[in-house]
Amino acid sequence: MKVVVSDPLSSEGIALLQAAGHQVVTPAAEELPQALADAAALIVRSATRVTAKLLEAAPHLRVIGRAGAGVDNIDVAAATRRGILVMNTPGGNTVAACELTMAMMLALARRLPQLSAQVKAGAWPKKGFLGMELQGKRLGIIGLGRIGSEVARRALAFGMGVVAYDPYVPKDHARRLEVKLVPLDELLATSDVITLHAPHGPDTARLIDAAAIAKMKPCVLLINCARGGIIDEAALADALRSGKVAGAALDVFEHEPPTGSPLLAFEQVIATPHVGATTREAQATVATQIAEQIVAFLRGEPPRNAVNAPAVDAELLQVIGPYIDLGERLGMLLVQLADGPIERLTVTYRGEMNDHDVRPITTAILKGVLQRALTTPVNYVNAPVIAAERGLKVDVVRSSAIEDFANLITLDGVTRQGRLSVAGTLFSRHTPRIVRIDDYRVDAAPAGHLLVTRNHDQPGVIAHVSAVLAERGVNIADMTCGRDRPGGTSTLVISIDSPVSPQVVRQIEASPLILRARLVSL
């Protein structure tokens, strides 16, 4: 498949893509729309702007990979509507960004840029540039994610007290770090150094404005190695003039490059050109990581580090990956057995799945249900969106009820004609099996072509079905049968080596012993 790399990418990543058999092209900016016309994947860093208009030129694009964490340069909503997965590498540059933050902190505290400039100018200013020790000072971290957490660990090693504001982080995570979670106003009012590690969005745009700065301690140090636009730069300039902020270290700006910014005129401002991830190690890591993720996704594996689909990291994937596959197959089974469009779907999870995020499994189930009914492409990205647009009501139930199986996924579908239920599990944690259709216990592999019948529990059923298949030269690979009671009704699931035509299905249904027959392809 064709993979377009529109920004510089470490050679390790390129080599991985090529080793997997993909064609890698690196077009100039003006050639990008043409290069995307037949591309399956696009890899960008921070320079390329992936707009809705650009995506219109990429009708076959399946995935956009961001070699880095931020996706500000990608129209994620437009990609989602088109069913294009967006993935990033959130942990690849963690150490690099963290170490830059610590370098900024030390440089501000000891006024290193000013001292260096003085010495280079011929001065020897041993007096007049009094520094500040970090030990015993309070560091306020806004955003206690991967990078913020690593900064906290290093600051604690320096003997600093650390507080953090993050409305989304679990308290247990902060407790393990020995970091105190506090309200934003308390952080602003009590911190000697404040560092930002939050994403840019509606909740954080100009979070540090004139009102926020007014709440800070006098002579505070401010660091931003996260995203431009979180700080009101005009308000920061005013605070630097007044001395309220003693120094600021900025790796990011609202407009980059920050041509004409008043902040560049202050000697107490350290400015770097958005190089938080620019280390040899980080570049190689994010390139390798995004290449591996792209290769795995194009190979058909569930997505990792997805931005617009339920995220599945490598550790979680080992646990729920087989359930994702099982869920999709159960969805395909349900929709092919149904007598009409499914209007309501209830998914019930039992067992170890309830210890994890089940959204990736639910998304796979929706993909299985929808892709058999629609001509438009359905994937892990747009399946929830399409389900909502079609009015499919989805309920998810986590049950602790004990069943015959340690782990069980049950799908209950409602159509205008009635109800239908299927259930599946994993044998030995990896082998998927269909174990129930409605109230009938069965044991069948959810793969290949299955002939599923509802019939009277009487002699002659298997003989009739076998005779019809034999007449057409169709071999039976496996068979399972479940019944409600002796002499009642039963369900027969027959695995066959090749599909049969609707005429053959009708011929099977022609027997008075057969109540219904369906061909299912998984």
Catalytic residue numbers, as ranges: 227, 256, 274
For residue 510, the 8-state DSSP code is T
Contact at 8 Å (CB) between 249 and 108? yes
Q: What whole-number distance in Å separates Cα of residue 11 and Cα of residue 164?
A: 38
DSSP-assigned letters across all residues of 61-76? --EEEESSS--TTB-H
For residue 513, the 8-state DSSP code is T
Q: What whole-number distance in Å separates Cα of residue 96 and Cα of residue 280?
A: 9
Q: In the block, which residue shows the tokens 């700065």?
A: 213
Residue of 349, 344, 376, 375 lying closest to 362 (CA atoms): 349
205 is written with which tokens?
């745009």
213 is written with which tokens?
């700065």
Burial 61-83 (b: 16+ CB within 10 A, else e): bbbbbbbbbbbebbbeebbbbbb
- 46, with CB counted inside 10 A (0-12, 13-18, 19+), is middle
Amino acid at 280: R
Residue 270: count other Cβ atoms within 10 Å of its Cβ: 20
Q: What whole-number distance in Å separates Cα of residue 483 and Cα of residue 502?
A: 25
Contact at 8 Å (CB) between 415 and 339? yes
Residue 146: count other Cβ atoms within 10 Å of its Cβ: 18
For residue 192, the 8-state DSSP code is S
Residue 449 CB-half CA count within 13 A? 13
Contact at 8 Å (CB) between 456 and 362? no
Give, rounded to a whole angstrom, the gap between the first and last alpha carbons of the chain.
25
Amino acid at 481: C
Sign of the CA dihedral with 398 first, then 402, 408, and 414 last: negative
Crossing angle of helices 94-110 and 146-157, in 10° steps, is: 50
Q: What whole-number distance in Å separates Cα of residue 312 and Cα of residue 324?
A: 11
Kindly list the distances between the CA atom of residue 174 and the CA atoms of 200, 203, 242, 416, 433, in Å, as whole numbers in the listed order.
22, 21, 34, 50, 41
SS3 466: helix
